[in-house]
Chain A
Amino acid sequence: MNTTKTLIYDGSFNGFLTAVFIGFEQKITHADIQRQGQIQSGLFTETEIIFTNVEKAQRVWNGIRKKSNSAIKNVYFAFLSEQNTIEALLYHYIQKLMGSKYNGAMDFGDDCVLKINQLTHKVGREKHRMEAFVRFQLTKDEVYFSNIEPDFDVLPLISKHFRNRYADQQWIIYDLKRKYGLYYDMNTVEMISLDLTDIHANNLEKNSVFTDAEYEYQELWNNYFKSTTIKSRINTKLHVQHVPKRYWKYLSEKKETI
């Protein structure tokens, strides 16, 4: 009987769930699920390439959801964290979930459950940060454009938020790290990839693709940001804790500081 095996999938979430399905089907106890292109196989382990199968993925998804609603969120969020060996950890987590009589996602005395929980928390925080730190700039063809570089792959998580909020304007949020973005054309949100020649962060220099009024509003916002600070309460440590420096280059109110 197989107890250890390396499964290679295409990197998509459905691909991962398919791999989990195969793992359970073959009763593999330690499934080393790896992303294609980042394979590190053990010397003597057997390897299988997984072809994404939406139907099988769906069955795993439904199975987890039946066990617990919080678990299904945890699995998706933790997957998007793109951590090394997250797949193996999640496989173990799902095994635990399916094997327990109670809601195994609540077993906070267990290291694996706690770890997945913490990852979910981290990804959730990054999602929230992106909802806060996206700064749209209006281009001359009336698209509100924004660049981001989130720590985790949170674009799929923030799409609905922006769709609900900016329903009457065209917008693009582009992830420079993962080289894809979301484009809303006032009907639907689509995934796009762009050939960006330069990074449109909030530069001090003006760029001709943006409207003139855009820079006036940035100036107003920067002024507002300054006048709302209370000088006798300055607390730089707290400020940086809330707005970590790695996000500053995309925030117009911080562009002068960099």
Chain B
Amino acid sequence: MDFNRIKEKLNILADAAKYDVSCSSSGSNRKNKDNGLGDTGNGICHTYTEDGRCVSLLKILLTNHCIFDCAYCVTRKSNDIKRAAFKIQEVVDLTINFYRRNYIEGLFLSSGIFKSADYTMERLIAVAKKLREEENFNGYIHLKSIPGASDELMYEAGLYADRLSVNIEIPTISGLKLLAPDKKHEDFIKPMLKVKNEIIRYNEERKIIRSTAKYAPAGQSTQMIIGTTGESDKDIMYSATHFYKNYNMKRVYYSGYVPISTDSRLPCLGSEVPMLRENRLYQTDWLLRFYGFSVNEILDADHPNLEMDIDPKLMWALRNLNHFPVDINKAESRMLARIPGIGMGSVQKIINGRKFRNLSWDHLKKMGVALNRAKYFIICNSNDWERRDLDASKIKGMILQSQNGKFKNHYNNQLSLFN
């Protein structure tokens, strides 16, 4: 193996793949087979890059040659960058050798589209097949579904991969027309639909024949770029909900747009990555998936955007003060989960702990509840609670004063006197 050449390729093709934010290696149930190599489980982040993102998979492109010219993408045809391509065996060797040293949980393989969608998809599948069949590799494999790939190939891909994903990238159809004129919305949807249907079919068959082979056991995910086409948070979250519901997505990722182009349709180079907005969107995503909220409670026609200075649950609570205060020692868990400053971990502790005794402020504090936010919304076993009839803006002001978050300078709008 020519290490110097491989090193050069790896630098180019890892650099091009890093804008894909998905890095999860959990959710699969593939187990080590015949004393071979690898196993999957809850997912492990083996290291973190200096920007704080987890590295759990070897995330690379097979090639960054591409026939498309999507404005938001570094590997677009018209971009003047170094191009490279891995051979199939090279990707296999890298994956196995990194895995054996406990660097990674597996492979995340994506690619620029060369020749045609099917030709590219075939190459991706060939890598996965070789890993599974020749190397008896049971680690995690995440393959990108190439938009426009045929149903037959998508079927085959699911036999070897743990997870498949298509990035829809632009949350609105009009935005897609503007930024990626060569791509059609249907091309993204088709492989997604095929994979979804196959997963359902395999699960049905497994109920009858237990030994039915695995088909994409970790399901599908997708990704949207935030802040390219002036879309609202409502557009993004409604679109995400659509994919969770209709395509049984395991995850939707939100990726703040990192300026990489001078194209006039996009935010200019040097403009800030919308990290705070990205964070608020993920918080909303969690509220929808784990906290029992539905999307129209948080975002609707009157409130199309999330507030940047407070988290979405607090935002919801301030708009719905009629539900509060909640009695910690009596309320059902559904309502406990809606109190700002209380996470699902604390909800479990409260539910269990209150069977033994009525809980007071002290108990809640020790359990890890963020009382600086929660105290305006609860009563507990104490004579001391918020008796003043405060309105939403008052509460918000008091909470903002009491916290010192890392994003504070992002939303501190008050003019300072001396600069």
A224 part of interface (Cβ distance < 8 Å): yes
For B94, the chain A residues whose CB sits under 8 A away are: 220
Contact with B along A207-228 (1 / 0, CB 8 A): 0000000001101110111111
Cβ-defined partner of A106 (8 Å) among B11, B35, B352, B406: B352
Cβ-defined partner of B273 (8 Å) among A108, A167, A216, A232: A232
A146 to B32, CA, bound (A): 22
User: Contact between B47 and A225 (Cβ–Cβ < 8 Å)?
Assistant: yes
B39 part of interface (Cβ distance < 8 Å): yes
Between A and B, how many residue pairs show CB distances below 8 Å? 154
A243 part of interface (Cβ distance < 8 Å): yes
Within 8 A of B (CB), among A113-148: 114, 128, 131-138, 144, 146
Q: Which of B6, B35, B100, B136 has the most CB of A within 10 A?
A: B100
User: Contact between B32 and A221 (Cβ–Cβ < 8 Å)?
Assistant: no
A32 part of interface (Cβ distance < 8 Å): no
Asked if A132 meets B47 with Cβ closer than 8 Å, knowing A109-B359, A114-B366, A228-B55, the reply is yes
Within 8 A of A (CB), among B321-358: 349-350, 352-357
User: Contact between A234 and B50 (Cβ–Cβ < 8 Å)?
Assistant: yes
Contact with A along B397-414 (1 / 0, CB 8 A): 000000000100000000
Asked if A132 meets B18 with Cβ closer than 8 Å, knowing A114-B367, A234-B51, the reply is no
23 pairs from A and B in contact (CB 8 Å cutoff): A102-B355, A108-B349, A109-B353, A109-B354, A109-B359, A114-B366, A114-B367, A131-B44, A132-B46, A135-B103, A144-B100, A165-B39, A166-B102, A168-B136, A216-B3, A217-B101, A223-B10, A224-B98, A232-B258, A233-B53, A233-B273, A233-B275, A237-B52
Within 8 A of B (CB), among A129-177: 131-138, 144, 146, 161, 164-169
User: Contact between A233 and B355 (Cβ–Cβ < 8 Å)?
Assistant: no
Q: Which 4 A-B pairs have the closest CB atoms?
A: A238-B52, A108-B353, A106-B352, A233-B51
B295 part of interface (Cβ distance < 8 Å): no
User: Contact between B54 and A242 (Cβ–Cβ < 8 Å)?
Assistant: yes
Chain B: CB-nearest residue to A115: B366
Asked if A109 meets B356 with Cβ closer than 8 Å, knowing A165-B38, A168-B37, the reply is yes
A225 to B11, CA, bound (A): 9
A197 part of interface (Cβ distance < 8 Å): no
Chain B: CB-nearest residue to A105: B352
User: Contact between B273 and A221 (Cβ–Cβ < 8 Å)?
Assistant: no
A122 to B19, CA, bound (A): 33
Asked if A230 meets B258 with Cβ closer than 8 Å, knowing A128-B44, A220-B10, the reply is yes
User: Contact between A107 and B50 (Cβ–Cβ < 8 Å)?
Assistant: no
Within 8 A of A (CB), among B7-35: 7, 10-11, 14-15, 17-19, 31-32, 35
For A219, the chain B residues whose CB sits under 8 A away are: 3, 7
Asked if A135 meets B101 with Cβ closer than 8 Å, knowing A233-B51, A236-B50, the reply is yes
Q: How far is the CB of B138 from chain A (nearest CB, A)?
A: 9
Q: How far is the CB of A92 from chain B (nearest CB, A)?
A: 16
For B41, the chain A residues whose CB sits under 8 A away are: 161
A239 part of interface (Cβ distance < 8 Å): yes
User: Contact between A235 and B7 (Cβ–Cβ < 8 Å)?
Assistant: no
Cβ-defined partner of A217 (8 Å) among B38, B51, B53, B98: B98
Q: How far is the CB of A80 from chain B (nearest CB, A)?
A: 20
A87 part of interface (Cβ distance < 8 Å): no
Number of interface residues of B (CB under 8 A): 57
A232 to B257, CA, bound (A): 11
A137 to B47, CA, bound (A): 17
B36 part of interface (Cβ distance < 8 Å): yes
Asked if A164 meets B7 with Cβ closer than 8 Å, knowing A132-B47, A169-B37, A242-B52, the reply is no
For A110, the chain B residues whose CB sits under 8 A away are: 353, 356
Asked if A132 meets B44 with Cβ closer than 8 Å, knowing A228-B18, A232-B258, A238-B52, the reply is yes
B194 part of interface (Cβ distance < 8 Å): no
B76 part of interface (Cβ distance < 8 Å): no
User: Contact between A111 and B101 (Cβ–Cβ < 8 Å)?
Assistant: no
Q: How far is the CB of A68 from chain B (nearest CB, A)?
A: 11
Asked if A111 meets B11 with Cβ closer than 8 Å, knowing A135-B101, A229-B49, A234-B50, the reply is no
Q: How far is the CB of B303 from chain A (nearest CB, A)?
A: 28
For B31, the chain A residues whose CB sits under 8 A away are: 164
A109 to B369, CA, bound (A): 13
A1 to B213, CA, bound (A): 65
User: Contact between A107 and B352 (Cβ–Cβ < 8 Å)?
Assistant: yes
A216 to B35, CA, bound (A): 27
Contact with A along B138-149 (1 / 0, CB 8 A): 000000000000
A102 to B101, CA, bound (A): 46
Task: Given A226-B11, A228-B49, output 18 extra A-B contacts at Cβ < 8 Å.
Answer: A106-B355, A109-B354, A109-B363, A110-B353, A114-B366, A137-B101, A144-B101, A168-B136, A217-B97, A221-B98, A224-B58, A228-B15, A229-B18, A232-B259, A233-B52, A233-B258, A238-B52, A239-B49
B290 part of interface (Cβ distance < 8 Å): no
A114 to B369, CA, bound (A): 13
A251 part of interface (Cβ distance < 8 Å): yes
For B363, the chain A residues whose CB sits under 8 A away are: 108-109
For A128, the chain B residues whose CB sits under 8 A away are: 44
Chain A: CB-nearest residue to B139: A165
B129 part of interface (Cβ distance < 8 Å): no
B59 part of interface (Cβ distance < 8 Å): yes
A246 to B361, CA, bound (A): 36
A70 to B324, CA, bound (A): 34
B126 part of interface (Cβ distance < 8 Å): no
Q: Which of A106, A165, A168 has the most CB of B within 10 A?
A: A165
Q: How far is the CB of A135 from chain B (nearest CB, A)?
A: 6
B48 part of interface (Cβ distance < 8 Å): yes
User: Contact between A242 and B48 (Cβ–Cβ < 8 Å)?
Assistant: yes
Chain B: CB-nearest residue to A104: B356
Q: How far is the CB of B240 from chain A (nearest CB, A)?
A: 22
For A166, the chain B residues whose CB sits under 8 A away are: 37, 100, 102
User: Contact between B11 and A223 (Cβ–Cβ < 8 Å)?
Assistant: yes
Q: How far is the CB of B5 from chain A (nearest CB, A)?
A: 11
A110 to B258, CA, bound (A): 48
Chain B: CB-nearest residue to A108: B353
User: Contact between A108 and B367 (Cβ–Cβ < 8 Å)?
Assistant: yes
